Structure 1
Amino acid sequence: MWFVKVHQNVKFHARETTALRTWVPGLGGAGPRLVAADPALLAVVVTAVEGRPLHGAVLTGAEEEAVFRSLGVLAGRIHAGPPSPSPTAVAPVTRADRYAKVDRHLEAARPHLAPGDEEHVRAVVEQAVVLEPLPLVVTHGDFQIRNILLAAGGSLRVVDFERSAPQPVVRDLVRLPDHFDGREDLRRAFFDGYGRLFTALEQAHLATEAVLDAVSGIGYGTAHGDPELVERGRRILARSRAGTLCPAPTPPAGGNPS
């Protein structure tokens, strides 16, 4: 079975076709195969991917741990892909690109923010500007439960690559801290699958990216009738202000914390 996907713009089309032609085949059966692409129509034809949506799936605690360990493995495989697309493909997403959008995101989200949220977001961004930059790797760009399928036997599949670009590894994890709230077992399982813990610098960048994503989600979710995005954004901002958003993961017994 094949599916046709029409992209919103040239940038999304270029990103998805680049991903499908370069690093996605390296995932084997964990991703779709590109059948055809038409830049004039901004369309791609891809093969169907086995599995049911992980988003909304009811799992036991043990099944959740297994899923998040597999998510870590999958993220690690993506980030170990080719270091960058060809020079004529997708440009990297810079910190300046991300931080320059904060005013626009705040404008859209402002009516739905709690008192003090905007000041906190601006303070987080100001502190992040002086952080040492992270190296760029291949990223999915929208690595979240909504884009993951659970196949037979518990293996995972990933779809939707229109936001793929060379970015720091933390960009792919901005939606995951919400799942780790009160679930240290899932945090440990993910990083066990990923193969390493994040450094202190990566943790600092992740905390910033998660806050920016939360503000963006509140604005987008409000405008597009997605209350789940709005509520998640509010939770992330509340945890960021409380200082509990991205605590350092607890290494497994005998594990390497680096």
Structure 2
Amino acid sequence: MTGTTPTAALAWAAAALGARPAAEDVSHPRETSRVWSLTLPTGTRFYLKISARPVAYERETLALRHAAPALGTGRAPRLRASNAQHLALLLTAVPGHPVKRQTLTPAEEARAHRQAGTLLSRFHHAGDLSAARRKEAAQALRSTADGAGNHLHDACLTVPERRLVRGLTARLRALPPLPLAFVHGDAGDRNLLWSPAHRRAGWIDFARSRFATAVQDFVLLACTTWTDRPDLRAAFLEGYGRDLTPEEKQALACLAALDAVNCLARGPALGDAAVTARGRRTLDRLMAGVFA
């Protein structure tokens, strides 16, 4: 959480917009979420977002300035103004709502995921992967593996489950170099928008964007939406423009194991049954050898 008060941030946003907007708190039900919908007298809508930490502010600002524009008009927020003192971002609204909150036909779902894959491919190729950033991306898998122990001790696992996770963590370290990208970092259904009126998808929330391996952006989808919907996985990768390489598929299983451990440690601590269930389901599938 930042020390910025809503009053100060809203006053800054009003000054940046040149008008006093009607503000509605639309934060997610978690402590780190601070977002307001701002509607001007003309009806034009913006969003004010206060980042939870300086690193999140820096990541999202970089993404919005240098990578998100590659998605195209109406496909991602545009950065109207930013304020490092408040860790505040003033963003344009993107048409649509999260796909997880909508009841769509199978055809609409496939269309949304196909477009989402196309947009994510553009995002992956938009970041400048030179010099230190390429080194950062190349080290991302090892850094993830090195951090696995932070949650392993807190998760309630059986001895065979711990053995499996440790084995997959070791395998992750041994993989050859994989395709690199500027990743979204939280590419799941809650951040994938679909506008039925425009028949158009868009991505929001780039606070976890960074330079990493491309496959790291598929973990959340692989552990949620794609579990029961291989058709949506196929549509997404069709839009993305390629299937995963054999080495990326190995990495995805390893990363899914680490995500499961994280969920099984964090979910109970936060009292979040959905996160806990996600971790348990992923780990059960890995133990059964059916994760794909």
Q: TM-score, normalised on structure 2?
A: 0.77
The code of the aligned residue for 2:170 comes to E
SS for the counterpart of 2:153 is helix
Distance 1:61 1:114, change over 3 A: farther
Aligned-pair identity in percent equals 37
Residue among 103, 106, 109 paired with 1:64: 109
CA-CA distance at 1:103 after TM superposition: 1.1
Render the CA deviation track for 1:54-90: whole Å, top value 9, x for unaligned.
12322222222222222222222212213338969x9
The answer for the alignment partner of 1:251 in structure 2 is none
Q: For 1:170-249, list aligned pairs within 5 A.
A: 170-177=215-222, 178-246=224-292
Distance 1:109 1:57, change over 3 A: farther
1:100 aligns with 2:146: yes
For 1:86 and 1:125, how far apart are their aligned partners in 2? 27
For 2:49 and 2:153, how far apart are their aligned partners in 1? 31
- RMSD of the alignment, in Å? 2.1
For 1:70 and 1:243, how far apart are their aligned partners in 2? 30
Q: TM-score, normalised on structure 1?
A: 0.86
The answer for the alignment partner of 2:48 in structure 1 is 4
8 Å CA contact 2:116, 2:203 repeated in 1: no
SS for the counterpart of 1:157 is strand
Distance 1:72 1:125, change over 3 A: same
Paired residues, number: 243
The answer for the alignment partner of 1:50 in structure 2 is 95
5+ residue gaps, structure 1, are 247-258
Residue among 52, 62, 65 paired with 1:18: 62
5+ residue gaps, structure 2, are 1-44
Q: For 1:108-123, list aligned pairs within 5 A.
A: 108-110=154-156, 113-114=157-158, 116-123=160-167
Instruction: Single out whichever of 93-102 and 206-215 deviates more from structure 2.
Output: 93-102
Q: For 1:101-180, list aligned pairs within 5 A.
A: 101-110=147-156, 113-114=157-158, 116-151=160-195, 152-177=197-222, 178-180=224-226
Find the structure with the greater CA-based Rg: 2
Higher relative contact order (CA 8 A, sep 6+): 1
8 Å CA contact 2:60, 2:207 repeated in 1: yes
8 Å CA contact 2:46, 2:90 repeated in 1: yes
8 Å CA contact 2:47, 2:92 repeated in 1: yes
Instruction: Single out whichever of 98-107 and 174-183 deviates more from structure 2.
Output: 174-183
